[in-house]
Amino acid sequence: MFIRTASERDLASIRALLVETWHATYDRIYGAERVAEITDRWHSIDALKVRLTKPRSEFLVADDGTEIGGMAFASADGEGAIVTLLQLYVLPRHQGRGIGGLLLDEVIDSFPEARLIRLEVEQENDRAVAFYKACGFVEKGSAPSPGGGETSVVMERPLG
Ligand SMILES: CC(C)(COP(=O)(O)OP(=O)(O)OC[C@H]1O[C@@H](n2cnc3c(N)ncnc32)[C@H](O)[C@@H]1OP(=O)(O)O)[C@@H](O)C(=O)NCCC(=O)NCCS
């Protein structure tokens, strides 16, 4: 898989990736019906398209030439010192092979001015919490879960 910037022609594949990965990750936490509602709203082609041109943002995909296996979307604050990782998803059949790590590295490299990268992850998503810890993030508190689960964990990693 190589990492590249997402383009409009990728959006249908990215939506399919998000729907599949969201069901695999969150059905046990939020329930399949709620996941379908959320993915229809947050991951519609129109909602994704807006992100392609969002200023101070990076929208990346992992591509092997035949399939998109992962995606990431991150945005910097006004001064560029803090980057928020808003989405990082790897198709279930491609997880555990380094793609998430590659996408995260490329996100970080895309914001050379940044001093901190931050994210929120569903507390019950043990696998993702373990992944972020393995990638150098530490827990910094909690926040309400936007998906309606229990709580999100706020995690941060200093950069530079
Ligand atoms: C979380 C996710 C993005 C990680 O991507 P991935 O491609 O599966 O992870 P990688 O193979 O790149 O793993 C990178 C590192 O994290 C570690 N890691 C990955 N999964 C782990 C786990 N379940 N427990 C502990 N460490 C883990 C790996 O050991 C690896 O470290 P290493 O390179 O030193 O061996 C991916 O599994 C995913 O999309 N999960 C479902 C969606 C999700 O939860 N996204 C995050 C929402 S906030």
Mind listing the pLDDT tens digit for each residue in 97-138? 999 999 999 999 999 999 999 999 999 999 999 999 999 999
| Best probe residue, ligand 1, of 131, 132, 151 (max atoms within 8 Å of C-beta) | 131
**CB contact at 8 A, 73 and 58:** yes
DSSP 9: G
Number of independent structural domains in the chain:
1
**CB contact at 8 A, 127 and 111:** no
Tell me if 21 CB under 6 Å of ligand 1: yes
Q: Is residue 53 part of a domain?
A: yes
Overall pTM > 0.75: yes
DSSP 147: T
- State in Å: Cα 95 to ligand 1 middle: 7
Tell me if 69 CB under 6 Å of ligand 1: no
Q: Is residue 149 part of a domain?
A: no
Q: Is residue 151 part of a domain?
A: no
- Report the nearest-CA residue for atom 48 of ligand 1: 121
- Helix runs in the chain, H state only: 11-30, 32-42, 45-52, 99-109, 126-134
| Containing structural domain, residue 24 | 2-114
pLDDT by residue for the chain (160 residues), tens only, comes to 999 999 999 999 999 999 999 999 999 999 999 999 999 999 999 999 999 999 999 999 999 999 999 999 999 998 999 999 999 999 999 999 999 999 999 999 999 999 999 999 999 999 999 999 999 999 999 888 776 666 899 999 999 8
Domain of residue 23, CATH code:
3.40.630.30
Q: Is residue 66 part of a domain?
A: yes
